[in-house]
Copies of this chain bind each other. A is one copy, B any other.
Amino acid sequence: MTRRAAPEQQAAIFAALGDPVRVRFVRALVDGGEQSGTSLAGRLGISLALLCHHSKILVGVDLVQKRKAAQTTYYRVNQAALKQVLRDF
C-alpha cells in the first residue's frame, strides 16, 4: 500500500529524535500536552534560543507542531506522525 519513504527522509526523522534534549522535548509534550516555548525551556533547563533551535528540527520533520498566539508559541506533539515512525521497517 503505502510505499517506503526515501531513506534520507526516514533518516531525518530518526535523526530528529537522535538527541537527548529532543527526546526530553517530545516526552515533555507527551506528558504535559501543549506547552509554550518559555515553559518548555524552563522544564528542560535550556535557554529559549536553544529551545528554538531544537524545535525547528522537530517541527521540520513534522513530529511536533506549533501554533502562535500573540507573542507566545505553543508546541504540541503530532501523535499520528510519532506512531508512524517505525511503520517503514
Contacts and interface: CB of A to CB of B under 8 A. Distances in A.
Interface of A: 4, 7-8, 10-12, 14-24, 26-27, 30, 82-83, 85-86, 88-89
A18 B15 contact: yes
28 contacts: A7-B21, A7-B23, A7-B24, A7-B27, A8-B20, A10-B17, A10-B23, A11-B17, A11-B19, A11-B20, A11-B22, A11-B23, A14-B14, A14-B15, A14-B17, A14-B18, A14-B23, A15-B15, A15-B19, A16-B18, A17-B18, A18-B18, A27-B88, A30-B89, A82-B86, A83-B86, A85-B86, A86-B86
Q: How many copies does the complex hold?
A: 2
Contacts of A18: 11-12, 14-18
A57 to B, nearest CB: 11
